């Protein structure tokens, strides 16, 4: 499913341990003012770290934000060296690693995070050591041997957070670990980590736990427990809406809820939440999400015999969103038009999309299963029965 929230934002929204959790709540203008007014290097370092982190983790951060974060990080590094402040020098290295990652130089980002890790181990600073393990883990992919290495680093971080009593960071990292485990179908391990995270969050009174409920719902759906899946997805929605969350995270939650209702054959409810998801995806111009959600809604409308509604939602999906290389999605997209136009007896329009689909299918495009059904339905609707026999 969609990876709608940047992993870096999820992991570091709470802040590097010891950097001052309250600093994350100060707007950038306020942090800049503190930097200008701070006379002591230690005070400037603290606020420089906070502002550079804010800039690099800002949603949609581009070159100007990256360049500004880099300049601030360099100031932090120089002041830390001048003050012989090794702890903040290590934190500066972690920010630098995030900046390198953002710039696409993950190799250098890994080297910086490894240097920071060595420094925190030398300083016997387990909290920041845990943060370094997380950033190192981010350099590995989400499949094969890579994800197993990533999981190992996250487990080290969780153990250290537990040792220092960093409950919120422990729960956040447990949640992220559960997400990786879900990707490789380790559903039992994933659920156990999510239940532990939920327990910690509730014990410390942490409210934004909609992502934990959502992941639990997703795990349960994938193992066939749709009733309990729906319970957790609806809890995720109640929590998110109560906190006035309008981020892409809610897009994922709404869509997963819609998917569960669809699997329960409750299409009206599926459409209700699917439209909510689509609204957010459009607002953020998340084209891949718009494609997936729009096609899902098209299926729901078709199941309810609302063929014109299905066509309306599909027409609102710009074809240019679908990569020409993604022939499977294009075939499925054309098939939906064929199915719906046949149902309203608009065979001329059905032929338009049938011909496009046919070209891709003959070229060996993915999505052949849907295409076979479309061939049979189209040839039957146009009384070309003999042409349907091979299918």
What letter does residue 19 receive in the DSSP assignment? S
- For tokens 């349960």, what's the residue? 220
Rounded distance between C-alpha atoms, residue 218 and residue 181, angstroms: 12
Look up the pTM and report it: 0.82
The pLDDT, as a whole number, for residue 364 is 65
The pLDDT, as a whole number, for residue 215 is 97
| pLDDT tens digits, one per residue of 11-37 | 233 333 333 445 445 444 444 454 445
- For tokens 């496009």, what's the residue? 356
In 3-state terms, what secondary structure has residue 137?
helix
| pLDDT tens digits, one per residue of 251-274 | 999 999 999 999 999 999 999 999
Rounded distance between C-alpha atoms, residue 53 and residue 156, angstroms: 23
Q: How many percent of the chain have pLDDT more than 90?
A: 62
The pLDDT, as a whole number, for residue 41 is 58
Contact 23, 46 (CB under 8 A): yes
State the residue range of the domain holding 122: 1-139
In a domain, residue 218? The reply is no
Domain boundary among 139, 167, 184: 139
Tokens for 385?
């029965």
What letter does residue 350 receive in the DSSP assignment? H
In a domain, residue 295? The reply is no
Q: What is the CATH number of the domain that holds 66?
A: 1.25.40
The count of C-alpha atoms lying within 13 angstroms of the C-alpha of 293, restricted to the half-sphere facing its C-beta, is 30
Rounded distance between C-alpha atoms, residue 296 and residue 301, angstroms: 9
Domain boundary among 110, 139, 168: 139
Helices 106-122 and 86-103 meet at what angle, rounded to 10? Answer: 160
Rounded distance between C-alpha atoms, residue 354 and residue 371, angstroms: 9
In 3-state terms, what secondary structure has residue 124?
coil
In a domain, residue 59? The reply is yes
In a domain, residue 166? The reply is no
Residue 324 has pLDDT above 90, yes or no: no
Domain boundary among 139, 162, 189: 139
| Closest alpha carbon to 29 in 6, 61, 8, 55 | 55
pLDDT band at 49 (very low <50, low <70, confident <90, very high): confident
Residue 286 has pLDDT above 90, yes or no: yes
pLDDT band at 51 (very low <50, low <70, confident <90, very high): confident
The pLDDT, as a whole number, for residue 55 is 80
Q: Which residue has the higher pLDDT, 364 or 232?
A: 232
Mean pLDDT of the chain: 86
Residue 321 has pLDDT above 60, yes or no: yes
In a domain, residue 197? The reply is no
Q: Which residue has the higher pLDDT, 113 or 374?
A: 113
Contact 215, 229 (CB under 8 A): no
pLDDT band at 53 (very low <50, low <70, confident <90, very high): confident
In a domain, residue 316? The reply is no
pLDDT band at 369 (very low <50, low <70, confident <90, very high): confident
pLDDT band at 50 (very low <50, low <70, confident <90, very high): confident
- For tokens 């897009």, what's the residue? 251
- Total domains in the chain come to 2
The answer to which of 61-75, 133-147, 222-236 has the lowest mean pLDDT is 61-75
- Hey, how many other C-beta atoms are within 10 angstroms of the C-beta on 204? 11
Residue 116 has pLDDT above 50, yes or no: yes
In a domain, residue 135? The reply is yes
| pLDDT tens digits, one per residue of 185-232 | 999 999 999 999 999 999 999 999 999 999 999 999 999 999 999 999
pLDDT band at 361 (very low <50, low <70, confident <90, very high): confident
């Amino acid at each position: 499913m969609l990876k709608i929230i940047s992993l870096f934002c999820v992991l570091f929204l709470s802040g590097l341990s010891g950097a001052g959790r309250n600093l994350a709540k100060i707007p950038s203008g306020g942090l800049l003012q503190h930097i200008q007014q701070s006379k002591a290097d230690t005070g400037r370092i603290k606020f420089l770290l906070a502002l550079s982190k804010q800039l690099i983790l800002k949603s949609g951060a581009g070159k100007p934000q990256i360049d500004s974060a880099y300049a601030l990080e360099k100031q932090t590094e120089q002041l830390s060296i001048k003050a012989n402040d090794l702890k903040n020098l290590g934190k500066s290295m972690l920010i630098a690693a995030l900046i390198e990652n953002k710039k696409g130089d993950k190799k250098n980002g890994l080297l910086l995070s490894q240097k920071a890790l060595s420094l925190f181990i030398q300083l016997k600073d387990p909290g920041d050591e845990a943060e370094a393990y997380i950033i190192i883990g981010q350099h590995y992919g989400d499949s094969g041997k890579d994800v197993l290495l990533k999981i190992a680093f996250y487990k080290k971080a969780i153990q250290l957070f537990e040792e220092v009593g960093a409950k919120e960071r422990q729960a956040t990292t447990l949640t992220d670990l559960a997400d990786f485990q879900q990707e490789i179908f380790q559903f039992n391990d994933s659920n156990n980590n999510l239940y532990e995270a939920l327990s910690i969050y509730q014990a410390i009174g942490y409210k934004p736990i909609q992502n934990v409920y959502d992941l639990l719902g997703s795990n349960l759906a994938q193992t066939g427990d749709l009733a309990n899946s729906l319970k957790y997805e609806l809890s995720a929605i109640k929590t998110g809406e109560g906190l006035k969350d309008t981020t892409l995270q809610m897009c994922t939650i709404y869509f997963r809820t819609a998917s569960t209702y669809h699997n329960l054959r409750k299409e009206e409810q599926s459409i209700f939440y699917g439209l909510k998801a689509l609204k957010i995806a459009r607002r953020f111009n998340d084209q891949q999400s718009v494609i997936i959600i729009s096609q899902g809604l098209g299926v729901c409308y078709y199941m309810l015999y609302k063929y014109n509604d299905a066509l309306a939602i599909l027409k609102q999906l710009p074809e240019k969103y679908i990569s020409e290389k993604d022939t499977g999605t294009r075939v499925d997209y054309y098939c939906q038009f064929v199915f719906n136009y046949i149902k309203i007896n608009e065979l001329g329009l059905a032929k338009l999309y049938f011909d496009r689909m046919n070209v891709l299918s003959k070229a060996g495009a993915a999505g052949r299963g849907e295409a076979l059904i479309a061939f049979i339905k189209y040839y039957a609707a146009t009384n070309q029965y003999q042409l349907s026999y091979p299918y």
